[in-house]
Chain A
Amino acid sequence: MTQLFDNFHPIVVSLIKITIVFLGLALVVAYVVYAERKILAHLQVRLGPMRVGPHGLLQPIADGLKLLLKEDIIPAGADRWVFWLAPVISVIAAFTAFALIPFGANFTITDVNAGLLFVIGISSLGIFGTILAGWSSNSHYPLLGALRSTAQLVSYEVALGFAIVAALLLAGTLSMKGIVYAQAEMGVWFIFLQPVAFFILFVAAIAETNRNPFDLPEAESELVAGFHTEYSGFRFALFFLAEYTAMVLVSSIAVTLFLGGWLRPFASVRALDFLNFAPVAVFVAAAGWCFWEALRLPAAREWRWQRLLLLVLGAGASGILVGLLIPGSAFPGAAAEDQPTFPVLEAVQGVFWFMTKVFVFLFGFIWFRGTFPRFRFDQLMDLGWRFMIPLGIVNVIFCGAGIVLSQRLGWNFIASLWLGTAATLLVAILLTRGRS
């Protein structure tokens, strides 16, 4: 893949990559919304969207069109200029941060020395969208929602920072690619060395994205819809887009820091090399499912469009399957010794595993929403300031102590880190006992 790009001007290559990431993200976000509706429905023993396309697969397109065609209302007394600016800030902040996410060893838009700081910084700009939307609406509910959102974000950003510091101590670099390479070198994902930090990061990520059970800024029973109550039509769609993009973003950060980024599970075990064919298996399953569903549909005339769509999707999946399995000898200049057997499969390997892990995370987000009741605001603040932040600080101290023990006294690296984790858990128990 990379040799192919070398002939172009670097700016052209960057533009192509940015376009791919942007379009891919928009598609992923649209279908995350669909997946959320579907999964929530099944968690509640319903069917969810079923009518638009087979199993409601075209629902995101219908939703998008509906939002685009709706009337765009600006409330009287609103600060028009700020009202217009707020959703734009949200979307830009959410998308720009992806410039630094390493989707694969050979697929990043850019990788800078202080990469992780940039991702955190840019994504924290998204809060301005919320604040300004709440303020400029000139209405009570949005203002209260924005205030809550800000307080929540500022509180949980601290805990998030401490969780990230623990992972940085292990990686020894701020570069996003460097963090994944550090995990490849150690042969272990950081989640197995710093489980407490991962837990803090996960909870803080849910709070940062205003998801259930921490979705107080948009609590329907109290605040109508929170900061975007007065927004409608396309502007509302922008907020929606930004929210789900932010979900994908925090999942990507967590995957890069703790779940080995683009690395395959057990990347160092040769005996499990057959896992490299997992993308092939996924597309075989997808194609098979499409054809099977097409067969299962009733023969009546009203189902013909659904059948046609399923067949087209199945054919598309089969086409990708064939593309993945193009042998290396089919490319010009195949004589090179280091040419892998299936170059296309090799090229998409990293992106495939990265996205798989991100989807596992997103499923967790949706599962949480279907499971937990909403917190009260004082409970949320109490959890943040009196449990998560002390736990994060203690975890960083013990993690550093573990690293020093293994470096100075020659203790086993993993054992000393686990000793630190055990000590942290002890502190966590003491913290919970002190609480009412």
Chain B
Amino acid sequence: MLFAQIIFYLLAGVAVVSALLVITRRNPVHSAIYLIITLLSVALIYLQLQAEFLAAVQIILYIGGIMVLFLFVIMLVRLDEALRQEQFNRQWFVAGVAVVVLAVELIGVIYLGRDTALGPEAGPEALKALQPNTERIGEALFQTYMLPFEIASLLLLVAMVGAVLMARRRVE
């Protein structure tokens, strides 16, 4: 267990430190690189929790998809101008409220889910029940939660069509 704990704290530390660097770097490309590192360490934490499918999807979608598009856009921005702009806009009050709300939510989730969550004391048998990973997620998405899943995909489709429409209008 000790080895696993060391790995976890290492990954978590890297994730938090690079997340801080994302917002403090002045150069947006450096920020993007730190964001990639954050997402990658989160993916590795998923892997450590034996959620292989989730880890792979995190890498493909967030890192291989979204971050590539981020960088694609950043490359086209004029960096000299971006460097001269103000980095923080000093909205302490709003940020403080958001932090408090988020903290309450987080504590609430942990408190309400304390019985269903698997701790390290659960042992390998409980972890075995999560395998085979891909099949379990497939069953959950396409059988148990079929309707919410389809509603979510419809919502995304609507958003996509809307985005295309907005991009078109500007050309005309």
Where the two chains meet, the residues of A that have a C-beta atom closer than 8 Å to any C-beta of B are: 79, 81-82, 85, 112-114, 117-118, 120-122, 124-125, 127-128, 131-132, 134-136, 143, 146-147, 150-151, 153-154, 157, 173-174
Contact = CB atoms under 8 A, between A and B. Distances in A.
B75 A154 contact: no
Interface residues of B, number: 26
A146 B72 CA distance: 9
Interface stretch (B16-24, B57-65, B92-100, B143-151): B57-65
B68 A131 contact: yes
B60 A120 contact: yes
Contacts, number: 81
Contact of B56 (A117, A143, A146, A173): A117
B53 A114 contact: yes
B33 A127 contact: no
Interface in B127-148: 131-134
Interface in B73-96: 75-76
Nearest to B29: A135
A93 to B, nearest CB: 10
B68 A154 contact: yes
Contact of B29 (A113, A117, A118, A132): A132
Given A113-B134, A114-B133, A127-B68, 6 more contacts: A113-B131, A114-B134, A128-B67, A131-B71, A153-B68, A174-B134
Nearest to B76: A147
- Max count, chain A CB within 10 A of own CB: residue among B59, B68, B76: B68
Contacts of B71: 128, 131-132, 135, 150
B64 A143 contact: no
- Max count, chain B CB within 10 A of own CB: residue among A81, A128, A147: A128
A113 B132 contact: yes
Across the A-B interface, the 8 shortest Cβ-Cβ residue pairs: A124-B64, A117-B56, A121-B59, A121-B60, A114-B52, A114-B53, A114-B56, A118-B56
Contacts of A136: 29
B43 to A, nearest CB: 8
Contacts of B53: 113-114, 117, 174
A150 to B, nearest CB: 5
